[in-house]
């Protein structure tokens, strides 16, 4: 068979997930643009009795659209709100629209723009935009629930344990289909089956958990074990080191009282995240804004350099100016990373990517200069604007290298819990270039994990400064 049943099933599932998630996100973007324009005009009519807005008001509305697009994307307002309460989404929506309008007011005040000083118009515009945008998201939630209740845009999950809590998880997720989480089965912690979970199949013991999660591309693992089974919980987390599946722990009531600061609500169920993205909430917002603002400014500044390099690549060897390679991005999803082509066009064997080595005959003379100075990486600022990469983060490795190293370097795949970066803590500490030994890759991973655990805006700025000062040229870059 050309495609195995597992791969075919996964492909169909991924298409459905991407299709509907992308559709809802796209429709919300269009809706927000329409809302801010329409409400701006309606607010002018309420305030002045006409819809013929003068130029300065039209410019204010246009700036509002720009600020909204930047802020909404940066603050993850178009991501899935699966299982999150309406109140949480409403609070974040109010916060983001407040930022948008504060930016608009600050722009007018600081630049002393004349003509758009009507406080009543600003008030109408803000209140109407928040109300209309909120109503639109309620409709979107209902549409998403309708789609998920029919088996589309569904995340897959497995449960570990057969306790009363496990049974409650299965019943709740089955009853609340709007959350879009499908339980594929459950795993036991020992050889003997103590009781069955009604409605879902038994898939094996803990030894079968990690292989099943990987082969079936399970999105979530729900642990419903007593807190006293610490050894089993530790084993689950360790066995899933190579997986990017979310791990959720459903505690007993006593555990909830002890750890209630770690609890979140998903589909009405209290869960504790044992492993989640180290950059979430406000940190994700700040880093997203940092990435887009800096990337836009840098691209404007380096545009002439990009043009000169592109001309140099074209004149010194045949082939395309840009080289696009598949890498693993956030949550292990495949992305295409852009670089200036530094090698002669050549063919690799299927499933193989050969790392560049010192005096590699495939590298052109101009490409060697680009690689030594890291100038071949400059197009990745476009990847940052696309939201696929960050300026600072773990460097993305070729997909084939990830498959190789994840089995021999502990915690290797945890690097993919944040967006990959153009530069990183490992690179400015000398860990650049070829990773021809396991020890070199392990050291790089250690630095990447240190960065993720200690992230701050100041650390990012420090790494950027170190990259400019000493990171562009290094003996290991070839």
Give mean pLDDT, residues 186-192: 75
196: left (phi over 0), alpha (psi -120 to 50) or beta: beta
Q: What percent of the chain has pLDDT over 70?
A: 76
pLDDT band, residue 415 (cuts 50/70/90): confident
Is the model's pLDDT at 448 over the cut of 80?
Answer: yes
DSSP reduced 3-state for 184: strand
**How far is it, in rounded angstroms, from Cα 103 to Cα 64?**
8
pLDDT band, residue 265 (cuts 50/70/90): low
Is the model's pLDDT at 171 over the cut of 70?
Answer: yes
Secondary element (H or E) of residue 392: strand 390-392
- pTM: predicted TM-score of the whole model, two decimal places: 0.51
The CA distances from residue 73 to 22, 94, 139, 288, 391, in Å, are: 13, 15, 20, 8, 17
pLDDT tens sequence across 216-252: 889 899 998 887 788 888 999 999 988 888 898 876 5
Is the model's pLDDT at 124 over the cut of 90?
Answer: yes
Query: Which residues fall within 8 angstroms of residue 80, CB to CB, at 6 or more apart?
Result: 21, 24
Query: Which residues fall within 8 angstroms of residue 447, CB to CB, at 6 or more apart?
Result: 424, 425, 426, 429, 431
Query: Looking at residue 15, what is its pLDDT?
Result: 37
Give mean pLDDT, residues 188-203: 73
DSSP reduced 3-state for 208: helix
359: left (phi over 0), alpha (psi -120 to 50) or beta: left
Query: Looking at residue 420, what is its pLDDT?
Result: 93
**How far is it, in rounded angstroms, from Cα 353 to Cα 340?**
17
* Closest among 166, 168, 171, 155 to 189, alpha carbons compared: 166
Segment among 71-85, 97-111, 391-405, 442-456 with least mean pLDDT: 71-85
* Contact indicator for 39, 132 with CB cutoff of 8 Å: yes
pLDDT band, residue 260 (cuts 50/70/90): very low
Spatial strand order in the sheet of 263-266: 202-204, 181-187, 155-160, 220-223, 246-249, 269-275, 263-266
Query: Looking at residue 348, what is its pLDDT?
Result: 58
Structure tokens that stand for 331 in this block = 């949550």
Is the model's pLDDT at 10 over the cut of 90?
Answer: no
**Phi–psi pair at 388, nearest 5 degrees:** -90, -20
Query: Looking at residue 275, what is its pLDDT?
Result: 65
Query: Looking at residue 7, what is its pLDDT?
Result: 32
Structure tokens that stand for 389 in this block = 């990469």
Segment among 370-379, 425-434, 440-449 with least mean pLDDT: 425-434
* Closest among 476, 465, 426, 4 to 217, alpha carbons compared: 4
**How far is it, in rounded angstroms, from Cα 35 to Cα 390?**
30
* Closest among 389, 395, 390, 394 to 448, alpha carbons compared: 394
* Contact indicator for 70, 292 with CB cutoff of 8 Å: yes
* Closest among 373, 354, 377, 356 to 475, alpha carbons compared: 373
Helix/strand/coil percent split, the chain, to 5:
55, 10, 30
The DSSP 8-state label assigned to residue 264 in this structure reads E
204: left (phi over 0), alpha (psi -120 to 50) or beta: left
Q: Which residue has the higher pLDDT, 194 or 74?
A: 74
pLDDT band, residue 153 (cuts 50/70/90): low
Could you tell me the residue ranges of all domains in the chain? Answer: 5-149, 155-275, 282-471
Query: Looking at residue 261, what is its pLDDT?
Result: 44
**How far is it, in rounded angstroms, from Cα 200 to Cα 160?**
12
Give mean pLDDT, residues 72-99: 73
**How far is it, in rounded angstroms, from Cα 99 to Cα 171?**
40
Give mean pLDDT, residues 468-474: 62
Query: Looking at residue 306, what is its pLDDT?
Result: 92
Fold of 155-275: Rossmann fold (3.40.50)
Query: Which residues fall within 8 angstroms of residue 223, CB to CB, at 6 or more apart?
Result: 159, 160, 161, 233, 236, 247, 248, 249, 250, 274
Query: Which residues fall within 8 angstroms of residue 433, CB to CB, at 6 or more apart?
Result: 474, 476, 477, 478
pLDDT band, residue 281 (cuts 50/70/90): low
**How far is it, in rounded angstroms, from Cα 249 to Cα 114?**
56
């Amino acid at each position: 068979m050309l495609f195995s049943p597992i791969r075919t099933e996964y492909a169909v599932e991924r298409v459905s997930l991407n299709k509907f998630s992308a559709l809802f996100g796209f429709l919300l973007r269009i809706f927000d643009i329409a809302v801010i324009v329409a409400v701006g005009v309606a607010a002018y009519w309420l305030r002045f009795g006409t819809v013929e807005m003068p130029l300065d008001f039209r410019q204010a509305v246009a700036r509002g659209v720009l600020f909204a697009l930047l802020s909404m994307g940066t603050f993850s307002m178009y991501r899935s709100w699966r299982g999150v309460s309406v109140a949480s989404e409403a609070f974040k929506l109010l916060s983001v629209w407040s930022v948008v309008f504060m930016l608009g007011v600050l722009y007018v005040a600081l630049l002393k723009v004349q003509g758009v000083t009507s406080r009543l118009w600003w008030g109408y515009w803000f209140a109407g935009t928040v109300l209309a945008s909120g109503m639109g998201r309620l409709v979107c939630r209902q549409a998403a629930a309708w789609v998920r209740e029919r088996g589309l845009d569904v995340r897959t999950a497995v449960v570990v344990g057969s306790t009363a809590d496990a049974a409650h998880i299965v019943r709740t997720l089955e009853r609340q289909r709007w959350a879009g989480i499908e339980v594929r089965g459950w795993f036991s912690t020992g050889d003997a089956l103590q009781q069955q979970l009604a409605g879902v199949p038994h898939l094996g013991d803990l030894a079968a958990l990690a292989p099943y999660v990987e082969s079936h591309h399970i999105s979530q693992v729900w642990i419903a074990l007593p807190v006293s089974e610490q050894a089993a919980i530790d084993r689950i987390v360790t066995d899933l080191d190579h997986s990017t599946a979310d791990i959720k722990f459903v505690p007993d009531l006593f555990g909830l009282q002890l750890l209630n600061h770690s609890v979140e609500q998903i589909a009405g169920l209290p869960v504790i995240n044992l492993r989640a993205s180290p950059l979430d909430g406000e940190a994700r917002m700040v880093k997203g804004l940092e990435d887009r603002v800096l990337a836009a400014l840098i691209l404007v500044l380096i545009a002439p350099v990009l043009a000169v390099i592109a001309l140099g690549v074209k004149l010194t060897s045949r082939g395309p100016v840009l080289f696009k390679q598949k890498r693993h991005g956030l949550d292990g999803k495949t992305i295409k990373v852009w670089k200036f082509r530094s090698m002669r066009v050549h063919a690799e064997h299927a499933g193989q990517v050969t790392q560049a080595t010192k005096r590699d005959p495939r590298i052109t003379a101009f490409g060697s200069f680009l690689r030594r100075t890291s100038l071949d990486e400059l197009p990745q600022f476009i990847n940052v604007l696309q939201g696929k990469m960050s300026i600072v983060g773990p460097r993305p490795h070729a997909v084939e290298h990830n498959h190789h190293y994840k089995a021999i370097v502990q915690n290797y795949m945890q690097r993919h819990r944040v967006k990959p970066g153009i530069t990183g803590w490992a690179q400015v500490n000398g860990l650049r270039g070829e990773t021809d030994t396991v020890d070199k890759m392990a050291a790089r991973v250690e630095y990447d994990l240190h960065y993720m655990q200690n992230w701050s805006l100041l650390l990012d700025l420090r790494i950027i400064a170190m990259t400019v000062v000493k990171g562009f040229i290094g003996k290991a870059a070839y």
